[in-house]
Amino acid sequence: MAREVRDVVLVDAVRTPFGKAGPKGMYAETRADDLVVAALREILRRNPTLPTDRIDDVAIAATTQIGDQGLTIGRSAGILAGLPRTVPGFSIDRMCAGAMTAVTTMSASIGYGAYDLALAGGVEHMGRHPMGEGVDPNPRFLAEKLVDPEALLMGKTAENLHDRFPHLTKARADEFAVRSQERTAKAYADGVIQADLVPVAVRSAEQGWGLATVDEPPRPGTTREALAALKTPFRPHGRVTAGNAAGLNDGATAALLAAAPVARELGLATKARLVEFAFAGVEPEVMGIGPVPSTEKALAKAGLTIDDIGLFEINEAFAVQVLAFLDHFGIADDDPRVNPYGGAIAVGHPLASSGIRLMTYLARSFEAHPEVRYGITTMCVGLGMGGTVIWENPHYGKES
């Protein structure tokens, strides 16, 4: 039977506020699956015309798939969120690009015609499950020198990127980090970020119940002088610090995807149309360069060039990783098209959830910039990968 390839649209995307990982973080006593359930329920609340029995699948990503991030979390979270038992679900892992991969996997199924509607999401509770917890890397990785030993430590891969591109100095990284904090503060002041945040009830044995309504990690008022004085934990006299990298965080995201004709049939909104996506592999010891080949690959498949892209959401795992991308494509460090609402250095990076956080920001930028036709979400991925999704603005050419 011949199948017609269909356009896939991002109907909606939300996230919980991101918290600081650890015993003092706001989610210290909150379960990981409860975070993603809150995000899924908010998607359903915001889209009341969505018939839940027509959702074809639920894909939820987590990097550390144990404990309350295990048990095939796409299925278990779907049940907990109140979806009909007839809606299946599964878990997915591509480290930092988990939620991004959940979106592209569901989108491929929709575009092919196997699905009409799907939910995608990601969650990471790094306070309960530190990155690498329970893993047992095969000794061949090191014994046979398949990878550099530093490839398994993300902070050291960022230092390696500084080594490879010495013109990407610590001063530039700190400058970029300050700008991320400043743009995040402005986005909060303008009410942009809050529009897609899901309030989460949190409990503390000492303080009782509370409500998480804003991101915990941002440090407004951060100065270049303060960042210059921070320690470099990954290497003596290094360049990567807690100030020019994303922290350890907890949080969850969720997105609703649909075939374009189905979205129209059900009266669902369209925040973005998926144009193309690509993943690429690079040397694991410099994993931060991953977004460069994945973006080149996606652009080539789409028949576009970097000049066609009017908005960029680049995950700020490390400032140097973003700078390497910008430098490669000849984009200025302070280009207003890049992360206009700040990024992970300020709001945090709960690993597998972050891909959809990029999409929420891009969707808001699309609304504000109808003169822009295409935008991308891109990120580096542990063990040497990059992922890029190209989106089209549904508001293109319309009056703002």
* Domains of the chain, earliest start first: 8-128+247-391 (3.40.47.10)
Q: What is the pLDDT of residues 83-135, one digit of tens each?
A: 999 999 999 999 999 999 999 999 999 999 999 999 999 999 999 999 888 88
pLDDT single digits (tens) 291-338: 999 999 999 999 999 999 999 999 999 999 999 999 999 999 999 999
Catalytic (active site) residue 96: yes
- Is 380 a catalytic site residue? yes
Closest CA to 250 of 28, 68, 88, 6: 28
Strand-pairing partners, residue 13, are: 255
In whole angstroms, give the CA distance from residue 24 to residue 243: 19
State how far the Cα of 304 lies from the Cα of 4, in Å rounded to an integer: 23
Given the residues 125, 162, 369, 380, the one annotated as active site = 380
| Rounded Cα distance, 354 and 288, in Å | 15
Q: What are the distances in angstroms from CA 352 to CA 338, 347, 378?
A: 22, 15, 13
pLDDT more than 70, % of the chain: 100
pLDDT for the residue numbered 210: 94
Cβ of 257: how many Cβ atoms within 10 Å? Answer: 30
Distances in Å between the alpha carbon of 223 and those of 167, 227, 244, 342, 359?
Answer: 22, 6, 11, 15, 28
Structure tokens at 27: 């989610």
| Residue 304, CB-side half-sphere exposure with 13 Å CA sphere | 22
Confidence of residue 395 (pLDDT cuts 50, 70, 90): very high
Confidence at 141, pLDDT banded by 50, 70, 90: confident
Cα–Cα distance measured from residue 163 to residue 172, given in angstroms and rounded to the nearest whole number? 14
Which alpha helices (H) appear in 134-201, and where do they start and end? 140-143, 154-164, 170-189
Higher pLDDT, 353 or 1: 353
Determine the Cα–Cα distance for residues 387 and 314; give it in Å rounded to an integer.
10
Average pLDDT over residues 35-64: 97
Residue with tokens 């986005």: 187
Mean pLDDT of 155-184: 97
Rounded to whole angstroms, how far apart are CA atoms 8 and 220?
37
Other residues' Cβ atoms within 10 Å of the Cβ of residue 49: 9
Which of 96, 125, 369, 395 is the catalytic position? Answer: 96
∠ at Cα 101 (154, 340), nearest 5°? 70
Name the residue with higher pLDDT: 273 or 143.
273
207's CB contacts (< 8 A; 6+ apart) are none
Across the chain, the runs of DSSP E, i.e. the strands, are 8-15, 19-20, 57-61, 90-92, 117-125, 200-204, 208-212, 249-259, 272-281, 309-314, 374-381, 385-392
Confidence of residue 289 (pLDDT cuts 50, 70, 90): very high
pLDDT(10) > 60:
yes
Judged against a pLDDT cut of 60, whether residue 190 lies above it is answered with: yes
The proportion of the chain whose per-residue pLDDT surpasses 90, expressed as a percent, equals: 90
Q: 125, 129, 162, 349: which one is catalytic?
A: 349
The mean pLDDT value of the chain amounts to: 96
User: What is the per-residue pLDDT for 400?
Assistant: 54
The answer to whether the CB of 117 falls within 8 A of the CB of 264 is no
Cβ 47 vs Cβ 257: under 8 Å = no
Tens digits of per-residue pLDDT, 203-253? 988 889 999 999 999 999 999 999 999 999 999 999 999 999 999 999 999
**Whether residue 3 has pLDDT greater than 80:** no
Indicate the pairing of strand 200-204 with strand 208-212.
antiparallel
pLDDT of residue 132: 83
Q: Check if the beta carbon of residue 259 is closer than 8 Å to that of residue 292.
A: no
Which residue from 250, 221, 244 is spatially nearest to 24, judged by alpha carbons?
250
Q: Average of pLDDT values for 47-66?
A: 97
Phi, psi of 46, rounded to the nearest 5 degrees: -80, -10
